[in-house]
Amino acid sequence: MTVLEIRFLPGRFHATPWNDGARGGEVEWPPSPWSLLRSIVAGWYTSGGGDFAGIRSAIDALAAPPRYVLPPWKTRPAYEATAHPQNERAELVLDSFVTSRDDAAVAYVIWDDVMFDSRERELLAKVCEQITLLGQSSTPCNIRLASRPPANDPDHVNVDLVARSANPGFLIRRLGVAADVRGNGLFQRLSGSAAEISFDGNRQVSGSVWFDYALPASTTLLHDNRPSVRQMPAHIERFAIEAARGSRRPPLTSAIRVAELVRAAAMKAYTTREQDDAPPVLSGKAARNVSALAHRHAYFLPQDVDEDGLIDHIDIVFPEAYSHEVHRAVLSIREIWSSDLNLAAHERLLVRNIGEADYSIATEWTTVTPFVLDRFPRRGQSSSDRIAADSPEAQLRRSLIYHGFPEPLTIDLTRNPIQRSSGAPIPLEHFRRTRKTDPALPAFHATIRFASPQQGPIALGRYAHFGLGQFTASQAEAASQ
């Protein structure tokens, strides 16, 4: 058995998980095996770098996933005011940490099947003495090689791999070493600075793998009061869409597909973190396979801000307050991938949060992506007649009411191309207008005029939550604001 005793001097620990964005609110507690090994390698360099063969052999042995014996902890949220460089508006961000009731919290990392001889233990003890900070954390700590963990201490919590644990509680994922990575290759990967860390094609740290650990049912790494104390208000969260190496940004005509991919990434992030189905605000479902009513769930609206015909941003519009768990999941989106974005095969796009977007207010609104009908207009007794109650204009008026807007003064519906302030018009038939196996429904260019100014964004029609049916405020009104 090999045991490392970690004493956190301020009685608290702060570190961001490897798969979480900065200030996402989650804490890497317990510290991941990958972070522990990186700290040991850093300690070896600090100690003078002697006996390379010995430390390499020790690292290989410690690459197996350990178990933990942890002191009782509490997760505490710390809200910090920051100014975003895009809008210079101060906002609160979550920067959580864990604390122990003791002034000097002690945790134990245990490898039950790893045994070292006296020379190897002496080397490892010397290296651990040089470690003052742990992994990505800025928390001061002391690490020493211990003989054994506390025996049956009721004040400590045992955390182990799911496959080795009977804990029925919350599952957490911690980054560790892949089984086929050892020797010089592993040591080199652990030696790089944060800026030098390489990633594989899935944006995962090269040579790493995720291990699932189980917490006891009575413990959690999420602060219980955080979501109820401070819900996120209704707002527009904007993300930049950037092409990865070898890719190009998708055309605006693929807006519906980009919106689908970002929504799927947000739902996956939520279910992975919370071990639960995505809530209606993301899924648009009030229950399994039942659509949510009143359109109060999120809109995913791709944008072509510079009007070059390519999608460069996406706005996620939250019409009403939502939980901080959803906010954390959305902010953790880093990329989307698909082979059908109207580009070359196997496209990967990087997604980067840039803060909140502003609302628009105007009386006149015009489509920037086609308005798609909810269904085909029904025909009357004569093949040339349309039932007025189900005409394209009637469907648009109903959509306005469903999305919370008043009856408009006038509506102009045409089959004209989508006009842009710069660049050539885009014919309606160039836009992708279906999801999965849905039929291709009629699409229109529309202009709406209201009696009083209305706050946007406005998105209407069958695919309003997926980027089609977007309206923009008239340029004259936007310029006067």
Which of 214, 247, 265 is where one domain is finished? 214
Residues 247, 56: Cα–Cα separation, whole Å: 38
- How would residue 218 be classed by pLDDT, with cut points 50, 70 and 90? low
Strand partners, 361: 455
Buried b (16+ CB within 10 A) or exposed e, 419-431: ebeeeeebebeeb
User: Residue 425 belongs to what domain range?
Assistant: 361-480
Percent of the chain with pLDDT over 90: 31
Give me the pLDDT at residue 93, please: 39
Q: Could you tell me which residues come within 8 angstroms of residue 244 by beta carbon, excluding any fewer than 6 positions away?
A: 335, 348, 349, 350
Claim to verify: residue 378 and residue 266 sit in the same structural domain: no
Q: Is 71 part of a structural domain of the chain?
A: yes
Q: End-to-end CA distance of the chain, in Å?
A: 69
Claim to verify: residue 290 and residue 384 sit in the same structural domain: no
Residues 337, 122: Cα–Cα separation, whole Å: 48
Q: Is 411 part of a structural domain of the chain?
A: yes
Claim to verify: residue 192 and residue 44 sit in the same structural domain: yes
Percent of the chain with pLDDT over 70: 74
Claim to verify: residue 347 and residue 369 sit in the same structural domain: no
Q: Is 291 part of a structural domain of the chain?
A: yes
Residues 453, 213: Cα–Cα separation, whole Å: 53
pTM over 0.85: no
Claim to verify: residue 62 and residue 111 sit in the same structural domain: yes
- How would residue 230 be classed by pLDDT, with cut points 50, 70 and 90? low
**Per-residue pLDDT for 381 more than 80?**
no
Claim to verify: residue 296 and residue 160 sit in the same structural domain: no
Which of 309, 333, 357 is where one domain is finished? 357
Range of lowest pLDDT (145-149, 156-160, 230-234, 372-376): 230-234
Written as one string, the DSSP assignment of 323-343 is: -HHHHHHHHT--EEEES-SSS
Claim to verify: residue 185 and residue 260 sit in the same structural domain: no
**Per-residue pLDDT for 388 more than 70?**
no
Measure CA 419 to chain center. 33
Q: Which helix (H) or strand (E) holds 44?
A: helix 33-46
Q: Is the dihedral of CA 84, 90, 92, 98 positive or negative?
A: positive
- How would residue 233 be classed by pLDDT, with cut points 50, 70 and 90? confident
| Nearest by Cα to 244 from 354, 350, 353, 352 | 350
Task: Say if residues 24 and 332 touch (Cβ distance below 8 Å).
Answer: yes
Claim to verify: residue 320 and residue 395 sit in the same structural domain: no
Tokens of 388: 């007025």
**Per-residue pLDDT for 458 more than 90?**
yes
**Per-residue pLDDT for 470 more than 80?**
yes
Give mean pLDDT, residues 381-391. 57
Strands (E), 95-222: 97-99, 105-111, 141-146, 157-161, 171-177, 208-214
Claim to verify: residue 312 and residue 342 sit in the same structural domain: yes
Claim to verify: residue 246 and residue 352 sit in the same structural domain: yes
Classify residue 224 as exposed, middle or buried by CB count within 10 Å of its CB (0-12, 13-18, 19+): exposed
Claim to verify: residue 430 and residue 352 sit in the same structural domain: no
**Per-residue pLDDT for 226 more than 60?**
no
Give me the pLDDT at residue 204, please: 62
**Per-residue pLDDT for 289 more than 70?**
no
Q: Is the dihedral of CA 397, 398, 402, 406 positive or negative?
A: positive
**Per-residue pLDDT for 443 more than 70?**
yes
Range of lowest pLDDT (13-17, 23-27, 105-109, 156-160): 23-27
- How would residue 446 be classed by pLDDT, with cut points 50, 70 and 90? very high
- How would residue 382 be classed by pLDDT, with cut points 50, 70 and 90? very low
Q: Is 76 part of a structural domain of the chain?
A: yes
Give me the pLDDT at residue 95, please: 45
Give mean pLDDT, residues 221-227. 42
Number of domains in the chain: 3
Claim to verify: residue 308 and residue 393 sit in the same structural domain: no
Q: Is 222 part of a structural domain of the chain?
A: no
Q: The domain spanning residue 117 has which CATH number?
A: 3.30.70
Q: Is 223 part of a structural domain of the chain?
A: no
Tokens of 328: 């954390």
Q: Is 51 part of a structural domain of the chain?
A: yes
Q: Is 296 part of a structural domain of the chain?
A: yes
Q: Which residue has the tokens 């209305």?
A: 454
Give the β-pairing of 12-13 and 97-99.
antiparallel
Which of 179, 214, 249 is where one domain is finished? 214
**Per-residue pLDDT for 295 more than 80?**
no
Residues 327, 472: Cα–Cα separation, whole Å: 26
pLDDT, mean over the chain: 79
**Per-residue pLDDT for 90 more than 60?**
no
- How would residue 272 be classed by pLDDT, with cut points 50, 70 and 90? confident
Q: Which residue has the tokens 């892949």?
A: 178
